[in-house]
Amino acid sequence: MPASPPSAFPASLVRRVLAAGAARAGGGLRVLGISGLQGSGKSTLAAQVTAAAQADGLSAARLSLDDVYLTAAQRRALAAGAHPLLSTRGPPGTHDVALALATIDALRAGRTPPLPRFDKLGDDRLPEAHWPRPARPLDLLVLEGWCLGVPPESDAALQAPINALERDEDADGRWRRYCNAALGRDYPGLWSAVDVLCLLQAPGFEVVHRWRWQQEQALRNARAGSEGMAPARFERFIQHFERISRHALRTLPPLADMVVPLDAARGVPGEHP
């Protein structure tokens, strides 16, 4: 049977990741990044590290790249003006990077701004009234994201389509060039705001399909009455991420401060509860 999404990572790993973040009470904000492909357990680990930090007396919170997607209306406008595929959230160019940076800048200044939140099933950003606000200035922000830290590809790498979506819906390469240009132009400032980057390294892209489908089922079960994505729609959706996911597998390990290899069941070899 396929492994279900991880309910928890080993406590020993959580402590190692928290130690890598090196936050201390009253020492000013530290941003600990957790990068990993879809379904790898980033949100689970981020929640555990945040809870462990709070148990140590630190003021800690978490934020996801998923929380700063452009709104549905903004993505519709982008799709109409640049490329239809940009209506789908996820790839570079569909995030409000300025919002993420403004939030981190405010936290570094010792303020307590509301932290953005996104409703994946509703496919839109939640109203600001529903965003949580830290009770006091943060010592640690855990920022997680599927493409966190990934550099852009070369122009030559963009020439050939990598899957059916690119072949059939981006034949001229306009969408993938737009995403890649955004990755090189808009995201480096956000990547540089991360003090320590931890990478959950998947064994290969092949496992991402199963991991992300399990995540989709969990989202559906969490929202009573929601149908979620049908299999055919899911198959198309996951292809939006294949190019940058494969690029991340190749490029991120030497860029990360800490690499955590995962097996196909999201286990961490050598770590024990």
pLDDT of residue 265: 87
Which segment, 18-22, 26-30, 157-161, is predicted with the most confidence on average?
Answer: 157-161
Q: How deeply is 206 buried, as exposed, middle or buried, from its count of CB atoms within 10 A (0-12, 13-18, 19+)?
A: exposed
Rounded CA separation 251/247 (Å): 6
Asked if the structure places residue 217 within a domain, the reply is yes
DSSP secondary structure of the chain: -PPPPPS---HHHHHHHHHHHT--TTS--EEEEEEE-TTSSHHHHHHHHHHHHHHTT--EEEEEGGGGBPPHHHHHHHHHHT-GGGGSSSSTTSB-HHHHHHHHHHHHTT--PPPP-EETTTTEEPPGGGS---SS--SEEEEEETTTTPPPPPTGGGSS--SHHHHHH-TTSHHHHHHHHHHHHTSHHHHTT-SEEEEEE-S-THHHHHHHHHHHHHHHHHSTT-----HHHHHHHHHTSHHHHHHHHHHSTTT-SEEEE--TTS--TT---
Q: Could you read off the pLDDT of 120-162 as tens digits, one per residue? A: 889 999 999 999 999 999 999 999 999 999 999 999 999 999 9
Asked if the structure places residue 270 within a domain, the reply is no
Average pLDDT of the chain to the nearest whole number: 91
Asked if the structure places residue 142 within a domain, the reply is yes
pLDDT of residue 3: 45
Average confidence (pLDDT) over 99-111:
98
pLDDT of residue 6: 56
Average confidence (pLDDT) over 109-113:
97
Query: Cα torsion for 220, 149, 29, 22, to the nearest 10°?
Result: 100
Asked if the structure places residue 111 within a domain, the reply is yes
Asked if the structure places residue 273 within a domain, the reply is no
Alpha-carbon dihedral sign for residues 132, 199, 272, 1: positive
Asked if the structure places residue 272 within a domain, the reply is no
The total number of structural domains in the chain stands at 1
Asked if the structure places residue 6 within a domain, the reply is no
Q: What percent of the chain has pLDDT over 90?
A: 78
pLDDT > 60? residue 226: no
Asked if the structure places residue 3 within a domain, the reply is no
Print burial letters for 7-23: b (CB count within 10 Å at least 16), e (below 16): eebbeebbebbbeebeb
More confident residue, 219 or 12: 12
Which CATH number does the domain housing residue 230 bear?
3.40.50.300
pLDDT > 80? residue 243: yes
Residues spanned by the domain of 252: 14-239+248-261
CA dist 56 → 50, 94, 185, 198, 221 (Å)? 10, 36, 38, 20, 33
pTM score over 0.95: no
